[in-house]
Amino acid sequence: MSSLKQALNEGRFVCVLEVVPQQSPSRLAALEQIVQRGHLAGWPLLPAFADRVGLHSDLSPLEGAGALGNPPSSLLHFSGKDRERADLLLQMESMKARGLEQLLLLSGDRLPGHIPGQAPVRYLESVPALQIARAHYPDWLLGAALNPFKYREEEGGAQYLKAQKKLLAGADFLTLQLGFDAAKHSEAQTWMRAQACMKPMLACVMRLTDKRASFLQAVPGVVITESMRELLGREQQASQAYASARSLERLALQIVGLQLMGYAGAHVSGVHTLDELLSLEQAIIEQRDSMTTLTDWAERWHASWQMPGAPDVCFAPEAGAWEMGQSDVTATRRERLGYTLLSTVHGQFFSRTGWLSRAFGWSVTRPIWKVGVAANALHAVERTVKRPLVGCDTCGRCRLQDTVYVCPETCPKGLANGPCGGTRLNRCEFDDRECVHSVKYRIAKSADQLPVLAQTLIPCIEAENRHRSSWPEWFEAEDTTQGL
């Protein structure tokens, strides 16, 4: 049993050190020293190899682990951007051959060069990826991500609904995306404790400097407010040594706070050398040994974000930001009318029970529509009818019934089960539209269909099945997971 799996099973706090695998001998040598040490402040320390977050010249997670001799404690990432089922299975087969059985499944951030409206890029999202991985390797340790750092009801609610799907799909643990808002860390723990089957959670942390904050402001899903930037800038102006000490103190504090909140561990980024690790260890020990309660910690955390003459730091990007439990949004009139219209059409033509539905089903399942010119013609008809209504791209396996008639193909990543972590105040990561999953949330809430967004696991669309009519398969299928 791996050290991570054992620690999670035993309820021991653990530290995961995230590594972006690079072709750098000096970086590799420094990482070898850290991995050989194997602990941080008395907690198990293990490497995690990121996937597709850096330059194209970076190594893959498998190559990164291989460069260190494939330590069995390694947690490999799998990013679904521009990936299919076969890519996931190939990585898992290679991992199995090397004795690596821990995987963090992520949909992934925006693929460089991906421009909506041009050549489409589809992402193997984490929910079906979890199902695929669990079906092939039932004993593996599988994780997924959650981003609770959301400040509008739609995007926050949709995040938690999708997280429920991830648990249903087989996630053994969740890792929170990078964030600094302690209220949201507490919120996520409250949510998890309310689940029927609680799972351990880790949280991503990073030593935040003024330079890093400038970079992170452009990273989708990471919230760095202007008041945070101002404080970091003032510290830097005071002196480099002062700013460095404060940033180290906050990182150590955050890790200790996560343990006090009940997190299973910390997913640490931005530590590259053994000297950095040892400095962090000393800071953790000092903080951990001088406080015993979460109340003490909260006071010290608040104080660490204060400086004479600087305004109070706010971690929310706007005043009156949403908190879990608040519920005041509703679908617009147009959204409600659209849902009513499309659900009525679905009931008439795709229920399989009424005479009109049976007649339509009989007509589209004739052998003539299976191949050749007729199949292409049926595909063109479906696209012509549905594209103006819902933005359909004829994926070949319609999922509208399970997405409250908001087409997942209108998401630039093609995500059907819920949002990625990259939204900001309901805006899509690509910033050219409102996130379609925020729209879904409003409609589902108004139509009393929120359980659908939490419980219906929507499978991935295989590349070879795209761009054909979904109607024949809907009426021929034994299940009812497809529709309009």
Within-domain flag for 412: yes
pLDDT score at 467: 87
44 conformational bin, left if phi > 0, alpha if psi -120 to 50, beta if neither: beta
At 482, the pLDDT band (50, 70, 90 cuts) reads very low
Predicted confidence (pLDDT) at residue 116 exceeds the cutoff of 90? no
d(CA 207, CA 463): 41
CB atoms within 10 A of CB 479: 6
Quick: pLDDT tens for 153-211.
Answer: 999 999 999 999 999 999 999 999 999 999 999 999 999 999 999 999 999 999 999 99
Predicted confidence (pLDDT) at residue 81 exceeds the cutoff of 60? yes
Contact 432, 119 (CB under 8 A): no
Do residues 216 and 365 share a domain? no
Within-domain flag for 158: yes
- Average pLDDT over all residues of the chain: 93
Quick: pLDDT tens for 430-459.
Answer: 988 999 999 999 999 999 999 999 999 999
Within-domain flag for 323: no
Q: Letter for the amino acid at 416?
A: A
Quick: pLDDT tens for 59-68.
Answer: 899 999 999 9
Within-domain flag for 310: no
Do residues 264 and 338 share a domain? no
Q: With H, G, I as helix, E, B as strand and everything else as coil, classify residue 37.
A: helix
Within-domain flag for 313: no
Do residues 250 and 397 share a domain? no
At 315, the pLDDT band (50, 70, 90 cuts) reads very high
d(CA 189, CA 116): 35
pLDDT score at 332: 96
pLDDT score at 250: 98
With a pLDDT cut of 90, the percent of the chain lying above it is: 82
Highest mean pLDDT among 28-32, 101-105, 460-464: 101-105
- Containing structural domain, residue 457: 333-476
The partner residues of 174 in beta bridges, in order of sequence, read 144, 201
pLDDT (average), residues 88-101: 96
Do residues 24 and 136 share a domain? yes
Do residues 380 and 252 share a domain? no
> What is the per-residue DSSP string for 301-324?
HHHHT--TTSPPP--SSSTT---T
Do residues 214 and 355 share a domain? no
At 57, the pLDDT band (50, 70, 90 cuts) reads low
Quick: pLDDT tens for 374-429.
Answer: 999 999 999 999 999 899 888 889 999 999 999 999 999 999 999 999 999 999 99
pLDDT (average), residues 38-51: 95
Residue at token pair 């009519």: 469
Number of domains in the chain: 2
At 236, the pLDDT band (50, 70, 90 cuts) reads very high
pLDDT (average), residues 277-294: 95
Do residues 342 and 216 share a domain? no
At 56, the pLDDT band (50, 70, 90 cuts) reads low
Do residues 300 and 337 share a domain? no
Rg from Cα positions in the chain: 24
d(CA 57, CA 262): 38
Do residues 17 and 59 share a domain? yes
Q: Say if residue 94 is exposed, middle or buried (CB neighbours under 10 Å; 0-12, 13-18, 19+).
A: middle
Do residues 292 and 353 share a domain? no
Specify the CATH number for the domain of residue 15.
Answer: 3.20.20.220
Predicted confidence (pLDDT) at residue 17 exceeds the cutoff of 50? yes
The partner residues of 18 in beta bridges, in order of sequence, read 48
Contact 37, 30 (CB under 8 A): no
Do residues 77 and 130 share a domain? yes
At 296, the pLDDT band (50, 70, 90 cuts) reads very high
Do residues 281 and 395 share a domain? no
pLDDT score at 1: 66
pLDDT score at 292: 87
Helix 333-349, helix 436-446: angle, nearest 10: 80
Within-domain flag for 311: no
Within-domain flag for 376: yes
DSSP H or E stretch at residue 132: helix 126-136
Within-domain flag for 208: yes
pLDDT (average), residues 453-476: 90
At 481, the pLDDT band (50, 70, 90 cuts) reads very low
CA dihedral 335, 429, 106, 25 (to 10 degrees): 180
Residue at token pair 């087969």: 93
Domain boundary among 283, 304, 325: 304
